Chain A
Amino acid sequence: MSFEPEIVAFLCNWCAYAGADMAGTSRLKYPANVVPIKVMCSGRVDPEFILEAFERGADGVFIGGCHPGDCHYVNGNIRTRRRVEMLKKLLEQMGINPRRLRLEWVSATEGAKFARVMKEFVEEIRQLGPSPLRRK
C-alpha cells in the first residue's frame, strides 16, 4: 500500500481557516491528508502542540496565519514565525526533517493559495516518506 501522509494543520480563525473555507467555496480540490485544527491566532500554536503532533507520529505539521501586518491580533503571526524558525532547528537535531514543519501566510481571500500549498506540502511529505517517529 502506498504511503499516505498524516498531517495536522493549525489554521488561524481569521485568515488561514477562512482561506481554507474559501478553497471549499471555490471547490478547489486538494489531498485529504491534512486535517485542520482551528485556533484563534497562529500565535496560539504552542511549540508543544507541534512536538506533540510529531511525537504521535505526524508526518507533517502545517501552520497557517495571516500575512505579516494583517494579523487580527496585531503581531501574533510574527511571533509564530520566530517560534517556527527555532523549532525547525530543534527538529533537525531531533532527526526530523525541518521541511516537515511548514508555515504559510494565507489570507481569507486566498483559497487558491491554500489549495496549492496543501497540494505542495502533501507531495513534499510524500517524497520525504513516513516520519521516523511514526508508530506502526
Chain B
Amino acid sequence: MARRIGVFVCHCGVNIAGVVDVEKVAEELRKYPGVAFATTYQYMCSDPGQNLIRQKIEEENLDAVVIAACSPSMHEETFRNVCKDYFNPQRCEMANIREQCSWVHEKEEATEKAIKIVKATVEKLKGNEDLTPIYVPVEKKCLVIGGGIAGIQAALDIADAGYEVILVEKEPSIGGRMAQLSETFPTLDCSQCILTPKMVAVSRHPKIKLMAYSEVIDISGYVGNFDVKILKKPRYVDEDACTVCGDCEKVCPVIVPNEFDMEKKPRKAIFIPFPQAVPSTYTIDREACLGLAPLTCAECREACEANAINYDMQPKIVEEKVGAIIVATGYDLYDKSNLVEYGYGEDDDIITSLEFERMLSASGPTGGNIIKPSTGETPKKVVFVQCAGSRDKQHMPYCSSICCMYTAKHALLYKHHVPDGEAYVFYIDIRATGKDYEEFINNVMEEERINYIRGKVAKIFREGDKIVVWGVDTLTGKKVEIKADLVVLAMAIVGRKETKEIAQLLKVATGVGGFLKESHPKLKPVEALSRGIYFAGCAQAPKDIPATVAQASAAASKVLALFAKDKLEKDPMVAVVDEEHCSGCGVCISVCPYGAMQRQPNGKAKCIEALCEGCGTCAAACPSNNIEMRNYRDEQIEKMIEVII
C-alpha cells in the first residue's frame, strides 16, 4: 500500500489553471493524509513535466503518484509509462480535473470540486494493489465460420501467413451469396469467374482444413484457447471418391427445388448445388432421398461406378482447439411475405433481387434468359423497387447499402437482354458511395435510358396478366401507375438466423436486423467485444463485395497480430472470489456475460482470469459480498464516496 504519495497538478496552460486555483489544490492536498508531496506544473505531459515527476519520485522517495490533469483516456498510459521505471504502474492514477471540472464549471466551485476529485483519487490509489498483467497461451489456429467471400478471403490470408485455418460452411459448397450472383457492379465481372479461383485455392491450401456441410454447435473458452465442436453432417457420398460424373443424378427419381437457385430450378435428391461447387462432390439430401429409408430405392448407389455412395454414413462431431474465431456468416434477404403492401410478394411475377440474379445467370433456372415467370414470355416492362423493406420504420430502419448499385446493374442487364423493353426504377435516394459507383449509376441513367422515379412504391397488385405498381413521383408530385410484366423487389438485407445462433454461442450481441455488434463502430469495426472474436462481411452489416473483402483481410490481420505473440497480455483488473466465504449460490455465474465465473467441483465459484473482462457485475450481484474487483474494491469506492460527500 502506498505510503508516500506525490500529487502533481497540471495547469494545462490556461485550460485548467485559468479556472481552477491549482496552487490551492496542491496546498490542500499537501495536508491530506498519505500525501507526501504536491506541486503544480504548466504541462505535466510535456517532456519537462514528465522529468519533473521522475525527479520528484527520486528526491521525495515517493511510492505512488496522482496526476491531476486531463481525462485518463488522454494520458493515463503516458504517466504509467513514466512511473513503471520506479514502481508498479497501478501506483499511478489520474484525477480528471479538466474535462469533468475546469472545462465545465466556474472558478470557485471548480476549485472545490477539483480538490474533491483529487482527494477521492488519492483514496482510490491508497487501496490499489500492485498487479502484473495476466498471461494466457495462444493456440495458433483460427476458426472461420462461413464460407462466402468473407470467410474465403479471411481463411486465405491467415493460411498464406502460415497459420492453420478451419473453414466451416453449413451448405454443401463454399461460395456463399457471391456464387449466386450473375455479374458484379460496377465493372460487370462475372461473379463466379472471379470467385471460383479463390474457392479452388481454399480447397488446395495445405493450411486450410475445409469442413463444408458442417455446423459449429458449441464454443467455449476464451481468447487464445477456444474449444469448438463442429458437426459434420453426413453427405452419404464419399467426398474423396466422388468423381462428379453425374451418373447418380441421372437415375435419381426424386425432384425437389434447388436452394442455390432460390428454389426456382429443380434438382435431384442427390445433387451438386452448382457445377463449380467446392468441395467438388455430390451430396444426398436426406429429407428428399428414398434410399435412406431402406429397400425403397438404391438407384444412385447402383449407378455409381466409383462406389462413393454410402447410405450408412453417420453425423460426426469433430472437436478442435483454436485461438481465434472469425464470424463470416453472411446475410439473408428480408422475408418478402412481410411486405403486405406489395401483395406479400406471393405473385410469380413479383420476384426478389436474388431470384433475378439467378435468372440472369447462364447456369440459372432460365439459362440466363429474362422471363415473366407466370407465362415464360419476355417481359417488356419491368419495375425495379428499391428499399423494399429497407429505410422503412415498419420493416428495417436501416439502408441495406448495396441495393442502389445492384438495381442499376439489374436494369442495365435487363436492357442488354431486352433492348426494346422499358425499365423503371423506384428509389428514395441514390446512394452510390463506392469507387466508380456514381459514374456507373449515371451511365445507367443516361446512356441506357432507364426511367428513374424518385418515390416509394405504395402498392403492388395483379390486374389480369399485368402487375400494377402504384407510386408517387416526389419530384413532380404526381401519382404514377405502371402496368408491368415483372416486378423485382430489392429486398432489405438482414443477418441470418444462424448468425444469431453463433452469436449466442460466442456471447456476442446482435443489433437491429440481426447484425453482429462490433466493439467500436469506428475504431474497432471488425472486433467483437470479447477478445479473439472477429467479424467479416454482411454478418456485421450490409456491405458490398469490396468492403467485405477489405473487412475480411482486416479481420485476418487482427488474427495474425494475435498469433504473432506466444502469450497474450490481459488487463489484470479482474474479479476475485473469496472462496472461503462463498456460499456457492451461483448468482455470479448467471450474471457474468463472459462465462468467466465457473463453479468448481466443491460448489464454489471461481473467476477464470483469462475470461474476465473486469466489468464488476458479479461483485455488485454477489449477495454475500464475497467478490472483489482488483483495484476497484468496494472499500476503495466507499472511501471515494466518503471524500465526496
B617 interface neighbour in A18, A21, A31, A44, Cβ under 8 Å: A44
Given contacts A30-B104, A32-B110, A40-B632, contact A49 B638 (CB under 8 A): yes
Residues of chain B within 8 A (CB-CB) of A79 are: 591, 617, 620-621
**Cross-interface CB contact of B509 among A6, A36, A47, A69, cutoff 8 Å:** A69
CB of B104 within 8 A of CB of A44, answer no
Interface residues on A, range: 35 or more
- Establish whether residues A57 and B645, one from each chain, have CB atoms under 8 Å apart when the complex forms: yes
Taking CB atoms, residues of chain A closer than 8 Å to B517 are: 69
Give a binary string over B598-637; 1 marks a CB under 8 Å from any A CB, 0 the rest.
0000000000000001111101110001000100101001
Q: Output the residue of B99, B106, B511, B617 with the most chain A CB within 10 A.
A: B617
- Report the Cα distance A45→B621, complex, angstroms: 9
Selected A-B contacts with CB under 8 Å, 21 pairs: A8-B641, A20-B100, A23-B99, A23-B100, A23-B104, A24-B98, A24-B100, A25-B99, A37-B120, A39-B632, A40-B573, A43-B615, A44-B615, A46-B619, A48-B634, A53-B645, A72-B615, A73-B529, A74-B507, A76-B615, A79-B620
Whether A89 sits at the interface, judged by CB under 8 Å, is no
Contacts of B640 in A (CB 8 A): 37
Contact B116 A35 (CB under 8 A): yes
Instruction: Give the distance to chain B from A86, nearest Cβ to Cβ, in Å.
Output: 12
Please provide the chain A residues from 42 to 81 with a CB less than 8 Å away from any CB of chain B in the complex: 43-49, 52-53, 56-58, 69, 72-76, 79
Please determine whether A37 and B644 come into contact, CB atoms closer than 8 angstroms. Answer: yes
Contact B620 A47 (CB under 8 A): yes
A27 within 8 A of B: yes
B623 shortest CB reach to chain A, Å: 11
Please determine whether B641 and A32 come into contact, CB atoms closer than 8 angstroms.
Answer: no
Residue A125 CB within 8 A of the other chain: no
**CA of A119 to CA of B295, assembled, Å:** 80
CB distance from B198 to the nearest CB of A (A): 35
Q: Determine the residue in chain A with the shortest Cβ distance to B507.
A: A74
Given A8-B645, A24-B103, A79-B621: A40 in contact with B616 (beta carbons within 8 A): yes
**Residue A90 lies at the interface, judged by CB distance under 8 Å to chain B:** no
A88-113 interface (Cβ within 8 A of B): none
- List A contacts of B638 (CB < 8 A): 48-49, 52
Chain A residue numbers with a CB within 8 Å of B637 are 37, 39, 46, 49
| Contact of A52 with B641 at beta-carbon distance under 8 Å, contacts A24-B103, A46-B634, A72-B529 already known | yes
Instruction: Provide the bound-state CA to CA distance between A79 and B104, in Å.
Output: 31
By beta carbon, the residue of chain B nearest A6 is B645
Is B127 part of the contact surface with A, judged by Cβ < 8 Å? no
User: Given A27-B103, A46-B620, A74-B529, does the pair A40, B641 have CB atoms closer than 8 Å?
Assistant: no
B73-116 vs A: 1/0 string, CB under 8 Å? 10000000000000000000000101111011110011011001
Inter-subunit contact A41/B616 (CB<8 Å): yes
Contacting pair A73 B615 (CB below 8 A):
yes
| B-contact 0/1 string along A11-29, CB 8 Å cutoff | 0000000101101110111
Q: A40-B614, A44-B620, A74-B529 are in contact. List 10 more A-B contacts (CB 8 A).
A: A21-B71, A23-B100, A27-B104, A30-B105, A32-B110, A32-B112, A36-B100, A49-B634, A73-B617, A79-B591
Contact (Cβ within 8 A) B641 A49: yes
Q: Which of A21, A32, A46, A115 has the most CB of B within 10 A?
A: A32
Q: How far is the CB of A98 from chain B (nearest CB, A)?
A: 19
Determine if B117 is an interface residue (Cβ-Cβ < 8 Å): yes
| Residues on the A chain within 8 Å of B463, using CB | none
Q: Is there an interface contact between B620 and A43, defined as CB atoms closer than 8 Å?
A: yes
- Residues from chain B with a CB closer than 8 A to the CB of A76 are 593, 615-617
A75 to B117 Cα, complex, angstroms: 29
Report whether B529 and A39 are in contact in the complex, using a CB–CB cutoff of 8 Å: no
Contact bitstring B40-84, A, C-beta under 8 A = 1, else 0: 000000000000000000000000000000011100000000000
Task: Report yes or no: B615 in contact with A35, Cβ–Cβ below 8 A.
Answer: no
